[in-house]
Amino acid sequence: MRAVGSQGRYVTVALAMLCTHAGAQTIFTTENFHADDELWTDPAYYLNNTVDEIRGMALDTYVDGASGQLGSARVYGGEGTGQVGARELVSPYEFTSAQQHYEAWRAAARGGTAHTSATLPDWSGRWALRGGAFGGTFRGTPNPASDVAALLTPRYREYFVQNIKATAEGRPWAPGAFCLPGGFIRSITEMEEIIVTPERVWTLGADNASNYIRRIYTDDSGHSDPDFAYPKWHGESIGFWDGDALVVHTNQIRGWYGGYIEFTDALETVERYRRVGDRLEGEITLYDADVFVRPVTEQLLFGLDTETRPELRPLFNTCSDTNGPSNHVYLDEQGFLNERLPDDPLYWDVTDTRPWGTFYDESDARYQRYRQAQPAR
Amino acid sequence: MRKFTIIRLVGASIFGIGVSAQAHHSHAMFDHDQEVTITGKVSDMAFTNPHVFLYVDVEDEQGKVVKYWIEMSNIPNMIRRGIGAKTFEIGDVVTVNMYPLRDGRPGGNYNTIVGPDGRIYD
């Protein structure tokens, strides 16, 4: 067998469907995954595949660069290598909220270390995420996808299954493809440069479609007044230094799509980073009771990038270079710039908080019709 | 100018061919079971992110010029492969091997490009 693409994908998917009656229902054979809720936490439903392996069955799904490229595309419906419980995914901490977590660590650090420019650690250079897992994406998780599903509340478990099934079939949704922001998760995974001062830490990064800036206030000014809080793409971050380690609390994060799962406006996180040689070691704990049945902690590991060619320095990037401007604003018949309204077919529904969900529902329906229209083989 | 040719591929061998660049969207729109090779004149190049695009005018069998749209990788990846904004000039004759669009429109995702000096870029 081989990895599949276009017609090849259809043939392999069809063969997998024929096996429905021969074996147990799997995510690869089901005609209606919505009805399989009792199987979503069963490793056999995923044939022991990890989320990386499932997503890697499609061709060139860009999301993490490790899946689906031509040379490494996996056989659709093949057996995976996931091992139940191989990595502990739930938080080891007893805290019930990010605020409690942050305040406890801050108290343990006696309010934090007062640094001057001379005493701050040197975090200069260009960093790149190096392996390890990351909360919200579960990239590199050696566990079968069922372990990730088990972390999620029923609604988000269903969203997760829909996401990875569509992606395995070559129908992934990614914000960059629509010129939409990458969101909070990518603002961390794409972190390239860190500017450290006594009052503030900036992180800068860019993928090939977006730019990411985080401002972490370490001046003890705290979060903004709750009356004026609102969801922001990268949230609002405050932090303190515990010796040479930076601890960050982020709230007011705009709910979005984070790779293998999604998160809501309720997400709050606590991060901790410390430089060890040429590595920046960290961890993040995610608190989002709408999505996770328990808080999740994952390790973060960044390494210093050895690429030094001037032409490969970090760039400012914009997706609209390729994809063009928004259709929402247009030149009207009177010669004025105008905006589309909800009854216009090209209107962008700003109230749709899950555009990927809208995409997947429509993509599922169209893909079903496409498959059914294929000649029998 | 040479006409374009379609090479049908079989078996697993196609997956040994140069790996496609990391893209910002799925490549399901491209037919990875086929490779199409075109030879024509560069009519434009957009050195942009998330994708670099090369536009190539190809004369078809009826003598009509068809403008091919070639999607490439992002700027850093193209630089790593030796392709800069000035590597191809308008009017250069190039041969592009690509995975074609599934819907038949003239275009695809590039696999290799043979430049006017014979250099092969992958």
pLDDT in tens, chain A (377 residues): 233 334 444 444 444 444 444 568 999 999 999 999 999 999 999 999 998 888 778 764 443 443 334 555 677 888 999 999 998 889 999 999 999 999 999 999 999 999 999 999 999 999 988 865 554 456 678 899 999 999 999 999 999 999 999 988 888 888 888 888 999 998 998 899 999 999 999 999 988 788 999 999 999 999 999 999 999 999 999 999 999 999 999 999 999 988 678 999 999 999 999 999 999 999 999 999 999 999 999 888 999 988 888 988 888 888 888 888 888 889 989 998 898 988 898 888 888 999 999 999 999 999 999 888 888 76
CA dihedral over A85, A88, A90, A93, signed as positive or negative: positive
H-helix or E-strand containing A211? strand A211-217
Q: Which long-range contacts (CB under 8 A, 24 or more apart) does A92-96 make?
A: A92/A297, A93/A285, A93/A295, A93/A297, A95/A285, A95/A287, A95/A295, A96/A287, A96/A295
Whether this model's ipTM surpasses 0.90 comes out as no
Task: Report the DSSP pairing between strands B65-71 and B53-59.
Answer: antiparallel
Question: Which of B16, B27, B49 has the CB atom closest to A322's CB atom?
Answer: B49
Tokens of A164: 């990875």
- By residue count, chain B amounts to 122
Tokens of A4: 């599949």
With beta carbons under 8 A apart, name residues in chain A contacting B104. Answer: none
- The dihedral over CA atoms of A153, A159, A162, A163, expressed in degrees to the nearest 10, equals -110
Tokens of A195: 């500017």
B26 vs A177: CB contact, 8 Å cut-off? yes
With beta carbons under 8 A apart, name residues in chain A contacting B22. Answer: 62, 65, 69, 208
Residues of chain B that touch chain A, judged by Cβ-Cβ distance less than 8 Å: 11-12, 14-20, 22-28, 30-33, 46, 48-51, 53, 74-76, 79-80, 84, 102
- Pick B36-121's CATH classification: 3.40.50.2000, 3.40.50.1820, 2.40.50.1010, 1.10.340.70: 2.40.50.1010
**What are the DSSP calls for A228-284, one per residue?**
G---BTT-EEEEEEETTEEEEEEE-BPPEE-SSSEE-TT-EEEEEEEEETTEEEEEE
**Contact at 8 Å (CB) between A214 and A233?**
no
Stated pTM of the model:
0.84
The pLDDT score that the predictor gives to residue A59 is 61
B32 vs A6: CB contact, 8 Å cut-off? yes
Domain boundaries, chain B: 36-121
